[in-house]
Structure 1
Amino acid sequence: MKQYEKKAKELAAQMTVEEKAGLCSGSDFWHTKGVERLGLSRIMVTDGPHGLRKQEGSSDHLGINRSVPATCFPTAAATACSFDPALLREIGEALGEECLQEDVAVILGPGVNIKRSPLCGRNFEYFSEDPCLTGQMAAALIEGIQSKGIGTSLKHYAVNNQETRRMVIDAVVDQRALREIYLAGFETAVKQARPWTVMCSYNQVNGEFASQNKTLLTDILRTEWGFKGSVMTDWGATVDRVQGLAAGLDLDMPYTGPASDEAIIAAVAEGRLRESVLDTAAVRIISLLLAAKDSRKPGYTYDGDAHHELARKAAAQSAVLLKNDGAVLPLDKTKKIAVLGVFGKTPRYQGTGSSRINPRQVDNLCGILEARGIPFTYAPGYISEDDRPDPGLIEAAVSAAREAEAAVVCIGLPESYESEGFDRDHLRLPESHIALLEAVSRVNPNTVVLLSGGSAVEMPWLAHAKALLMLYLAGEAGAAASADLLFGDANPCGKLAETFPRKLEDNPSFRNFPGGEKTVEYRESIYVGYRYYDAAEADVLFPFGYGLSYTAFEYGDLTVSQAGGSVTASVRVKNTGTRAGAEAVQFYVSPKNTKVFRPVRELRAFGKVYLQAGEEKNLSVTLGPRAFAYYNPQKGEWITEAGEYILAAAASSRDIRCTAPVSIDGAVPPDIPVPDEYSHPGFPLEISREAF
């Protein structure tokens, strides 16, 4: 946006107060205003983030009305598991191309809110419980989209971690958790990828609505992080238009009538708002309009088939193999299998709400197997959107399973279980899905589960699955990717971007989610996800970063070097198996002797290495000073604590393969009394209000 600032200021100087105020709100549901007499045309912004949702007829922000056909890529909950920023950049480039064809200037996404609780109904749209992974994946997606001249809107800023009472809830969060967990992903994306716009959330943060929170919109976002773009509201998030403008909110969306503009005009006329504040917002929006104008490509068309193949590749690289007892996978293509469960013919491949895509095509597993000439039988096994087991359907599925070499059971979370607009109240699968799996496993020892859904689930049924492949919401080509993985045409390489607890009550936010009528207290502070489970030494179902492969990887020779405040780590990775594959190596930092309460380990870098059978390579990453820092609320700044740290190369947060010591120069923090509830977190976590 910086390159357009001079021209934007010249144009703003020619505008009336009324015209400048008009730029600060939309012209309809999806378009900004322009100033035609000065050659400024309005632009279209529309929903993402894992596909283009452009509505041509009646408009809404809940995904109800139909949109133009577009590629439905796997959701962020899936693609985060790829641990592959290059893949996200490639998806971003494809999204940018689809926006060019449809003359859309800004796509609303990505969403980078942290998965505080697995119950959040919108978790399928978010990347991870970890801010390092979140920030890097979001930055890559933004870079890909904006490389095509299309803007992004980083959302939902900030601390929007639940759907319950999202319009009014006050998220009460301490400064360390705010900076280290909930803002860190935004910070990385803003500094690294420079999104054109940022979208504020509905909720309050520590007593002030995000849409008029000067600390968030100006002090942190602009002054500290150097953001140069425009801030827009989530649809309908404005509370007080004048107060919002003064706090740093530029664009009020959607258009709901003249009241918004009139409030600004009156405030300037009465001296309650300096015209210079309005000028600043107008210049930002004019810069956005100019950038969009320069990027337009009338008549541009994208290759839909190529994008579908990219969606297939992304789904295959994002799926996580959670269990493979006896190496039952990959399956033999010549052996007859049974495909059981409605999702085998009608897949659950995307979420519900404002990100709902109208795909050009949707693969289904039965159709893919038929096209590839793989012998199979099919039985629905359960009624879609009905929790109650159907004995007749189960018996038919059992009969099919008896006659098959392997049974592929397609189960997961139905649409009614998770969506924008509401949160889940449990982590269970429908009883009808579980009953099908249990019945089938009794007659077929080679029972493979394909699990679909947007977030973690409890698995008391896990013993009934010989193998388990977590697909998340895998997009329009997810079924083709599933077949690639089932039969070994692709090798699973995804790693979990969130911890799977054994039961809901184990989650650190359990006692404080979704809060009361007015507030939700983030009492767990920095102990989110694996940061808590590892500190409390809690038993989990599957740890953060976990994922199996059809091959095996050996780590060795971790070396570190230091220069200019940064640390470079290099580890040797060898594929010791018989198949080509990829390994996502995670680098965790642990303080040895700290005077402040900190997690046992924190992900600070990661990299993915692709290896042929028997091949080995060095993988190197660089960690900056922030990798060893914590946020000091008393000083209002990041502090690098002097001392010894352990740098680990790992296959998950619970699978440390090799370590190396690192000595870091820095400050010696004062001894600050910390309640025992934080210095030694218990399991399950209980934090008193006094300690919080």
Structure 2
Amino acid sequence: MAGEPTTQQHTAHDGEQIREDVVAAALGTLDLDAKARLLAGKDMWALPALPGIGLKSLVFSDGPIGVRGTRWTADDPSIALPSPTALAATWDPELARRAGRLLAQEARRKAVHVLLAPTVNLHRTPLGGRHFEAYSEDPYLTGVIGAGYVGGVQEGGVGTTVKHFVANDAETDRFTVNNTIGARPLRELYLAPFEAIVENAHPWGIMCAYNSVNGTTMSEHRYLQNEVLRGEWGFDGAIVSDWMAARSTRGAVEGGLDIAMPGPQTVYGEALAGAVRSGEVEEALVDEAVRNVLRLAARVGALDGAPAVVPEAHLPAAIDGQDLAREIARRAFVLVRNEGGALPIDVSRTRKVALLGAAARDARVLGGGSATVFPEHVVTPLDGLAAALPADMLTYSVGADPSDELGVADKGFELRAVCRDADGNVIGEGSLPNGQVQWIGDDLPAGVTHETLHSVEVIGTCTPRDSGEHAFGTRGLGEFALTVGGETLFDGFHGPTEGADPFESFFGAPTERGRVHLTAGESVSVSLRHVVAKDTGAPMPAVMFSLTHLAPRLDEDELIARAVEAARDADTAVVVVATTDRVESEGFDRKDLALPGRQDDLVRAVAAVNPRTVVVVNSGSPVEMPWREEVAAVLLSWFPGQEGGAALAEVLLGAQEPGGRLPTTWPAALADVPVTQVTPVDGELPYQEGVFIGYRAWDRSGAVPAYPFGHGLGYTTWEYGPAVLDGTTVTVRVRNTGTRAGREVVQAYVAPTADTVERPARWLAAFASVAAEPGEEVEVTLVLPRRTFEVWDEGAGAWEFVEGPYEVRVGRSLTDVRSVVRWEGPR
């Protein structure tokens, strides 16, 4: 009969009830110490196992573009997908779902139960250092893409922790900053993606942020975590702290925090059991947290007797990670300018292509910080074009290097780590993919313990690509001895900077220790010995330092001159420009939006001699492009993942279309950006702009960006018919009027025409991605959610429906409107 539950619904409900019964039974057998212990990490990445109730150790791992696993090493490589800004640029939640399924597949391969992703904080300002790890400036687009991603991961039987709840929108003083936010912007902007994902994807976990909101640190925010997240929205998963975010025992457990990570030194465990015994904390609160953790374990299949939400037999079909990484990359590339049909490059009419820029050879495929993974291989733009073009058609020249700072020793280095005890005896060795050592908790080479480890020596060879003066240095804290080719460059101690973010010492600027003249192709020995600091007060022992290096700085004018000559002799010049990990990374915010080094000079010089200059911008977030009107084409590649170079060749040569649309407004200059505040004053960062961020703020300020939200060109053209409105459903027919197949992102924006409430001029309400062959017409249906027409009434503490009239503007971007229909309000 109509309306009766299906067999599948019955099965899902039965499984849920069984899980709840098993959780309740397991909880009833645990004593206080076991319960308190379960809520605290046993190490960096895992919770303790409790064999007595059949509970396996729950393992967490960083995302969001790959699954690192419990060891920060290339010994167990990870698929590296494009950055979250790239995924959002596809405007395709189903593609995000497929990305999630792949990451679940990777997580299972690495015995990981819970992925620490996705990041759904907003692009409040382009100066946010972790901008690349979040999706968009728009809460609706963020929520839709995030829900697709969460759904895909959990369809693969792996949990997610949607993060960072809430308002972790900048990196400066993120551990201590108090973000003061009005109730309207908090609800309408910053909470909105979390609410949408909880409603539409039912995540099994949420990660609370480091920062405070309106005076209360998020790990203790009873109102936002208990009353809003659990109460209003019905979230029934586990809340885990960001690593080292939990501040106090009573505050955390009363504020709704279930899991304090990492361990073993946390505010939970023995401290929590003691607080219950002293009467400071009610045991019922501990029970509720344990119930949430056991429910998470049951859902991922880590609790005996409880059926996993996704049984082994029902897991999705295997996905080819390299193929998906390449597909996402090309679907994410945003073609923002294409004059005179510069793209795609017609190989049949091309004699020579000049590829220019250091980033074309040494591509940056992912952002810095906890998002870092180690792919098995990386396809650079040079690799991709060299494979796709005849050998005599492609030339390459460095032109300009974006970095003048030392970076982690990588290209040309063969290194390993040798561990010694206090007597100098070797107690173990580990392989290193580069000069970075990051061993946290038990992540140590076989046979090595923190108790016996006294020093680590990064040792091996450097075979330089270029002759000249090479700079070597260190990054990290403590005692170092650096030797290159038998010459000691440094032997001493490097101390911390007062008040610095702990991440800054490891991900921040390295320190140069000396220079050595080397000859290209001739190997020299390299050694960096580090004495491991003990009793640092950290929640767990860790060994974190790097050998750093900078190749010879050749004369920049000469490099640009060589590139200009190569461009002059080519039919098309492709210039790849990029940011560096000192510009975009976790742990610090950006100071400006300028491309580092002399990359702007390179582009202008090349454009002056070649009218078919194509610029590929390899950055995770906006940069200034003062030359954008001087070049034929500009293609934004974001951080494109491990297959980025292969995808780039497909798009540049026309085998595939660039499918992306801007998920964030791209400014012409930082001076035009309406919201730029990231630095707290006296510990506070007021969100004074209210509900006006992103394109909402641009509309209000009247400033004109370089490229608007939603903008993106393809290799075909589209014609829109009139939009038709029926209730809150909009239909529009679009036709591919070009000569090749293409994909269009149809966007609907709502604009109030008679407003008694202060609101943005317009906002995204719905979108759909459609494909069509040449001449084909397709009908697109867009449903406008009720929330589109609601505002948060601060006085009533509730959502208020604001009746019309409105205009519903349908088109290709925020500003490229093709059809407008008037909406008078509900019938």
Q: Is the 8 A contact 1:337 1:404 kept in 2?
A: yes
Q: Are positions 1:504 and 2:522 aligned together?
A: no
1:271, CA displacement in angstroms? 2.1
- Name the aligned partner's letter for residue 30 of structure 1: W
1:665 and 1:371 map into 2 onto residues whose CA distance is: 57
Q: Are positions 1:111 and 2:127 aligned together?
A: no
Q: Is the 8 A contact 2:402 2:595 kept in 1?
A: no
Q: Which moved more, 1:596-605 or 1:377-386?
A: 377-386
- Name the aligned partner's letter for residue 726 of structure 2: S
1:302, CA displacement in angstroms? 11
Q: Is the 8 A contact 1:101 1:301 kept in 2?
A: no
Partner of 2:23: 8
Where do residues 544-623 of structure 1 align in structure 2 (5 Å cutoff)?
544-562=709-727, 567-623=728-784
Q: Structure 1's 43 and 430: CA in aligned 2 closer, same or farther, altered over 3 A? A: same
Partner of 1:314: 328
- Name the aligned partner's letter for residue 549 of structure 1: G
Partner of 1:376: 394
- Name the aligned partner's letter for residue 489 of structure 1: A
2:644 and 2:242 map into 1 onto residues whose CA distance is: 30
Q: Is the 8 A contact 1:101 1:300 kept in 2?
A: no
Partner of 1:169: 177
Partner of 1:326: 340
Partner of 2:596: 430
- Please give the per-residue CA displacement for 1:82-138, whole angstroms capped at 9, x wherever unaligned: 111111111111111111111110111000000001011101000000000000000
- Please give the per-residue CA displacement for 1:130-187, whole angstroms capped at 9, x wherever unaligned: 0000000000001011101010110000000100000000001111100001110111
1:536, CA displacement in angstroms? 3.2
| Larger helix proportion of the pair | 1
- Name the aligned partner's letter for residue 32 of structure 2: V
Q: Is the 8 A contact 1:101 1:299 kept in 2?
A: no
1:67, CA displacement in angstroms? 6.6
Q: Structure 1's 302 and 177: CA in aligned 2 closer, same or farther, altered over 3 A? A: closer
Q: Structure 1's 180 and 340: CA in aligned 2 closer, same or farther, altered over 3 A? A: same
Partner of 1:669: none
1:275 and 1:555 map into 2 onto residues whose CA distance is: 62
- Name the aligned partner's letter for residue 212 of structure 1: E
Q: Which moved more, 1:333-342 or 1:603-612?
A: 333-342
1:207 and 1:262 map into 2 onto residues whose CA distance is: 28
Q: Structure 1's 204 and 86: CA in aligned 2 closer, same or farther, altered over 3 A? A: same
Q: Is the 8 A contact 1:641 1:665 kept in 2?
A: no
1:297 and 1:147 map into 2 onto residues whose CA distance is: 10
Partner of 1:288: 296
1:304, CA displacement in angstroms? 9.3
Aligned-partner SS, 2:744: strand
Aligned-partner SS, 1:560: strand
1:12, CA displacement in angstroms? 0.6
Q: Is the 8 A contact 1:535 1:600 kept in 2?
A: yes
Aligned-partner SS, 1:13: helix
- Please give the per-residue CA displacement for 1:576-630, whole angstroms capped at 9, x wherever unaligned: 1111111111111111211110001110111011011111111002122211111
Counterpart of 2:188 (choices 180, 187, 201) is 180
> Aligned Cα RMSD in Å?
2.0
- Please give the per-residue CA displacement for 1:430-450, whole angstroms capped at 9, x wherever unaligned: 241111111111221111001
Counterpart of 1:397 (choices 556, 563, 588) is 563
Aligned-partner SS, 2:108: helix
- Please give the per-residue CA displacement for 1:273-309, whole angstroms capped at 9, x wherever unaligned: 2111111111111111222225599999999982101
Q: Structure 1's 67 and 169: CA in aligned 2 closer, same or farther, altered over 3 A? A: farther
Counterpart of 1:542 (choices 703, 707, 721) is 707
- Name the aligned partner's letter for residue 284 of structure 1: N
2:669 and 2:75 map into 1 onto residues whose CA distance is: 38
Task: Identify unmatched segments of 5+ residues in structure 2.
Answer: 1-14, 406-552
Q: Structure 1's 66 and 171: CA in aligned 2 closer, same or farther, altered over 3 A? A: farther
Q: Structure 1's 626 and 300: CA in aligned 2 closer, same or farther, altered over 3 A? A: closer
Aligned-partner SS, 2:21: helix
Aligned-partner SS, 2:132: helix
Counterpart of 1:629 (choices 790, 795, 798) is 790
2:582 and 2:318 map into 1 onto residues whose CA distance is: 30
- Give me the TM-score of the superposition, normalised by structure 1: 0.92
Counterpart of 2:698 (choices 530, 533, 536) is 533
1:369, CA displacement in angstroms? 2.4
Aligned-partner SS, 1:411: strand
Aligned-partner SS, 2:337: strand
Q: Is the 8 A contact 1:55 1:68 kept in 2?
A: no
1:300 and 1:495 map into 2 onto residues whose CA distance is: 34
Q: Are positions 1:220 and 2:385 aligned together?
A: no
- Name the aligned partner's letter for residue 416 of structure 1: R
Q: Is the 8 A contact 2:699 2:761 kept in 1?
A: yes
Q: Aligned residues: percent identity?
A: 37
Q: Is the 8 A contact 1:101 1:298 kept in 2?
A: no
2:389 and 2:817 map into 1 onto residues whose CA distance is: 42
- Name the aligned partner's letter for residue 466 of structure 1: A
Partner of 2:689: 524
1:21, CA displacement in angstroms? 0.7
Partner of 1:677: none
Q: Which moved more, 1:178-187 or 1:375-384?
A: 375-384
Q: Is the 8 A contact 1:52 1:95 kept in 2?
A: yes
1:500, CA displacement in angstroms? 1.1
Aligned-partner SS, 2:708: coil
Counterpart of 1:484 (choices 637, 641, 650) is 650
Q: Is the 8 A contact 1:101 1:297 kept in 2?
A: no
Aligned-partner SS, 1:168: coil
Aligned-partner SS, 2:747: strand
Q: Which moved more, 1:134-143 or 1:339-348?
A: 339-348
Larger radius of gyration: 2
Aligned-partner SS, 1:321: strand
1:43, CA displacement in angstroms? 1.5
Where do residues 214-363 of structure 1 align in structure 2 (5 Å cutoff)?
214-257=222-265, 260-292=268-300, 293=302, 294-295=307-308, 306-334=320-348, 335=350, 336-363=352-379
Q: Is the 8 A contact 1:53 1:67 kept in 2?
A: no
1:322 and 1:579 map into 2 onto residues whose CA distance is: 19
Partner of 2:381: 365
Q: Is the 8 A contact 2:564 2:609 kept in 1?
A: yes
Q: Is the 8 A contact 1:349 1:478 kept in 2?
A: yes
Partner of 2:500: none
- Please give the per-residue CA displacement for 1:508-536, whole angstroms capped at 9, x wherever unaligned: 222x3323240101001100010111233
1:458, CA displacement in angstroms? 1.4
- Please give the per-residue CA displacement for 1:546-575, whole angstroms capped at 9, x wherever unaligned: 11111111111211112xxxx111111111
Partner of 2:808: 647
Partner of 1:74: 82
Q: Is the 8 A contact 2:184 2:690 kept in 1?
A: yes
Partner of 2:51: 36
Q: Which moved more, 1:301-310 or 1:288-297?
A: 301-310
Q: Is the 8 A contact 2:811 2:817 kept in 1?
A: yes
Counterpart of 1:194 (choices 191, 194, 202) is 202
Aligned-partner SS, 1:198: strand
1:244, CA displacement in angstroms? 0.8
Counterpart of 2:162 (choices 154, 176, 188) is 154
Partner of 2:541: none
2:620 and 2:669 map into 1 onto residues whose CA distance is: 17
Aligned-partner SS, 2:347: coil
1:48, CA displacement in angstroms? 0.3
Partner of 2:422: none
Partner of 1:386: 404
Q: Is the 8 A contact 1:101 1:302 kept in 2?
A: no
1:258, CA displacement in angstroms? 6.4
Aligned-partner SS, 2:299: helix
- Name the aligned partner's letter for residue 254 of structure 2: A
- Name the aligned partner's letter for residue 383 of structure 1: D
